[in-house]
Structure 1
Amino acid sequence: MTARTDVDETIPEFPPPRSAVCPFDPSPELRALAGRGPVTQVRSWGGSTPWAVTGHAEQKTLLADPRLSVDFAAPNFPSPIDPAHSHGGGTDLSFVGMDDPEHARLRRMISGAFTVKRVEAMRPAIQRLTDEFLDRMLAGPTPADLVQALALPLPSLVISEMLGVPYADHEFFQANSKIMVSATATGTERGAAHSALAGYLDELVAKKTAEPGDDLLSKLGAQIRVGELTAREAATMGVLLLLGGHETTANMISLGTLALLQHPDQLALLRDADDPRAVTGAVEELLRYLSIVHLGRRRTALEDIEVAGRTIPAGDGVILLGELANRDPEVFDDPDRLDLTRNARRHQAFGGGTHHCVGQPLARLELQVVYPALLRRVPTLRLAVPLDEVKFKYDAVIYGLHELPVTW
């Protein structure tokens, strides 16, 4: 990333530290960016000066603008990781880091598995798995770590079964995924974790290509056999889906549970809801309130782009801050209040445009199942430690909790 020397020294540093005083909210320093306008320059790694987009309307427009590139290899791409920690740690996350038409070509091959209709058919199975994990937690000792008892294993098992990945290998892929989303791991560590996962998926894809089953990796194997996909493309898609399919939802389950425990009136609303639409709405509000992609969605301008009275020059980096869009008072009344009765569907927790999260129907379904099941089956659920002892993921690019000690 190229540093600029012709910029105002008053440009704020980015990213600012997350505040332990308000662990569910954007930090005061991040909020100050919104006060500078919906589009403002920030100073990031090595003196680079990408543009931070804080407004909801501006983000919605730019997320759909093909003049913004997601290519990680672009010269001024605003990496979420300090280059001092990422040297030598390049990773291939498949179509997430590609522009169209390659992005569209690869995405089409897996998008059918995540349609609302297909995912909804999984609801009974996800409910059964949730109940099984809760049975084990309730039969075990207290306090329990909700991350290890429910939040992490449930989405890990669901995405494993969808892909055709043996769940017996969950400790391996969870450990390497954790390194890949760490903001403090070295580039060597991150690269080694990616290589381990890619090698693992290489072998699994080869097996599924030769001996297909009824799973997503086998479907990718069929694309390999007809020459529409290479084995390496299939493996890197597998890495993306395996990582994204459990890390994000696991963090939303644990962080959302903690937020509800801190807002008992809202917890009661969700626990006692007998209308599925109320549960659906509550999940959307939690997604809005707890934006877990807290270092922004990153892009590079391919052309000069005019937005909100500013010109983003071609070649400049752009950071779209969803956590600020989701707290934009122009869109959400009293945005810092957790209100499970509000219509929060305009949130941008899953991004937008052609690069919106392909797995969002599955994430939504898992959350719709997990929160009510947990709160109804464990009505006396409570934190087992003071809030200031909860271990938040200030050291990761996906925000959440390392542990959530609970009792009942």
Structure 2
Amino acid sequence: MPTPPQSLRRRPVAQAETHGRTLAAPAERSVHILDKLSILADAAKYDASCASSGAGKRDSRGTGGIGSTEGMGICHSYTPDGRCVSLLKILLTNFCIYDCAYCVNRVSSNVRRARFTPEEVVRLTLDFYRRNYIEGLFLSSGIVKSGDHTMGQLVEVARSLREDHAFAGYIHLKTIPDASPELLALAGKYADRLSINVELPTETGLQALAPEKDATGIRGAMGQLRWRIEEAKEQVRAADAAPRAKAKPPRFAPAGQSTQMIVGADSADDRDVLDTSARLYGSYRLRRVYYSAFSPIPDASAVLPLKAPPLMREHRLYQADWLMRFYGFEVDEIAPRTQPGATLLDLDVDPKLAWALRHPEQFPVDLNTAPKERLLRVPGLGTRSVKRILGARRYARLRLDDLARLRAPLSKVLPFVQVLDHHPRGSLDRPELLRAKLAPPPQQASLFG
């Protein structure tokens, strides 16, 4: 984390909040802003849902404001077209009135606590931006006093950046499910993206590990965000259709909403995780569902597993999520309950290859005649490769040399396709042998295979 300017280094914490009570902070435990930044940036590392994809292009140059969503940065947050948007990723506070068993910041946890004021977060964001370290802010928080109290402070940070400082950079707020509709409406007015974590894949898991949280309330808040986002988009479409309209339609979280699930903290299998993701995408039009492998925490509850799940499990879930969103796969195809052991994704091969090996009758696919939907099911062919194939075969019948020129991964593709001068001879008669041949070392696994 870059060092803040000198003006930010000696501002002590005046008070701390926990259990809904305001507690005076002893002088000897005063935490200066640099210490708070260290504590609260580290506490935010467990939140994976901070990508800036979907943000509109804005630039304050010539407007008298500050900030942009278009520049290159130093943080690992990327838009769909490949631009890197650097984010200051912090918590407003790691105090929390809840005692979720899986959370390092739970009220019973023995961790060092800190709290920013909204003014400090605003000042940090602007100072880091001016020093060319960041282009936006991801802000989450533990719950202090109440959901409305905490949400009000998160909104105040975004309001001040937008209205007091004309900040045009990206803002992502983690919203509090039980906050009032008025506060959620204000959050969407100022933030590019909002997110509400469902925490765990199943209601049973949430009741066991976070009984103070309400799955129904979480879904209700997501539903509210969905209709507000869709209403704002409809108003934009109406304004575009009426070019003489003078009033600019109000914005509401133009980059949509996202969520995050912890994987491996409870007994939910991968089929449970993907079922929940499919419902969330269908019911709330989420932009993304993020998966975070459970990480053992200090002073952990006895109900938690002693070891973290393999990180490859998290990776396979992202691959499966990609197949559902962009390749037309259903959950039952990726993790069928009818096949023993299939409700946990194969860690040795990616989900698309695992499906192909379970269904040799679907292959080989003729690249010269197959529709787009079938081409997308060929292991090794991503959306770009399929687009190139569809374009190339309009002018000539494809051969092996054409596949090489189209930059398709031949070793993975050839067992499953046929072209004019290639037909796989018996390669699918022994799927177990083909699996052994194609399974890559874990470190070489690809997200798009």
Q: How would you bin the TM-score normalised by the shorter chain?
A: under 0.3
TM-score, structure 2 length as denominator? 0.22
Q: Which has the higher contact order (CA 8 A, sep 6+)?
A: 1
Structure having the higher Rg: 2
TM-score, structure 1 length as denominator? 0.24
